[in-house]
Structure 1
Amino acid sequence: MRYYPLNHLFDDFFTDEPSRLMKTDIHEKDGMYELNMAIPGVKKEDIQIELSDGYLKVTATRKTNRDDSNSRYVHKERYEGTCSRNFYIGDGYHQEDIKASFDNGELKITLPKEVKEPEAKSKMITIE
């Protein structure tokens, strides 16, 4: 088992636009890391979490079902489309180590602070 230094753990692959759309708080608690990510206006089934090559990738798609055939936007601030964030967590995590839940626009991801031996394959994480 090994620990990754916190100053590089959870480094964002992209640091500009995605971080403004998917605000994330990371806590260390009881030997676990907990990521709390605000993803308002997105349904659980429109979120994907993937573990690949030491990166945890969260992708969310926000869709609107508004019929715009008889109207036009005068001003629009809410994001529509797909955005994602990549967090470097290290090579030693396995799919079964990572748990995720989604409630009221907040995605919660927990993973242990201690890691195992690296796993090479890309894996999708199920949201409970």
Structure 2
Amino acid sequence: MKFLPELFNDTFDELFYDPFFSKSSSYMKTDIKEQDGCYLLDMELPGFKKEDIQMELKNGYLSIHAKRDANSEEKDKEGNIIRQERFSGSCSRNFYVGEGVKQSDIKASFCNGELKITLPKVDQKAVEEKKVIAIE
């Protein structure tokens, strides 16, 4: 797998904040591919609805937030819940996609618990090389 120098460089950072991984780390797992001059993000969001997901682009960061309240959706009318393992709460991911990406350039679709995002591949600003000046 080829890692890009700046784009998506913070993709996996949040996994290492909690040594035992937080409950939400099992959500929003993402595959990132480069294809035909675009980046394709495939994100798993099982159990979420399209209305539960929000995306925002700000200062070169694409933020994806998802919120799910299992308590209101899945009330048991015939008894008390003894144990509930279904996720209830919110999770989010942030990806640095570059300052040249515009909101209108981003396409997204959601089907069967998978969010698919297409981003244009924008040339990054060239980092100025260090040039040594010879002293005579």
Alignment of 1:9-48 (within 5 A): 9-10=7-8, 11-12=10-11, 14-16=13-15, 17=22, 18-48=24-54
Aligned residue pair count: 112
Distance (whole Å) between structure 2 residues aligned to residue 22 and residue 48 of structure 1: 13
Letter in 2 for 1:108: K
Larger radius of gyration: 2
Q: Write out the 4+ residue segments of structure 1 that deviate beyond 6 Å after TM superposition.
A: none
1:42-86 CA deviation, whole Å, 9 max, x = no partner?
000110000011110000112221225731233x43321111001
Measured in 1, the distance between the counterparts of 2:112 and 2:124 equals: 32
Normalising to structure 2: TM-score of the pair?
Answer: 0.72
Deviation track 1:2-53 (CA, whole Å, cap 9, x = no partner) reads xxx8133112385224542110000000000000000011000110000011
Unaligned 5+ segments in structure 1 are 118-128
Higher helix share: 2
> What does 1:25-104 align with in structure 2 at a 5 Å threshold?
25-64=31-70, 65-68=73-76, 70-74=79-83, 76-104=84-112
Q: Which has the higher strand share?
A: 1
Checking the alignment, whether the CA contact within 8 Å between 1:58 and 1:84 is kept in structure 2 is: yes
Unaligned runs of 5+ in 2: 16-21, 126-136
Query: In the aligned structure 2, how far is the partner of 1:7 from the partner of 1:79?
Result: 34
Pairwise CA RMSD: 2.3
User: Cα distance 1:38–1:54, how it changes in 2: closer, same or farther (>3 A)?
Assistant: same
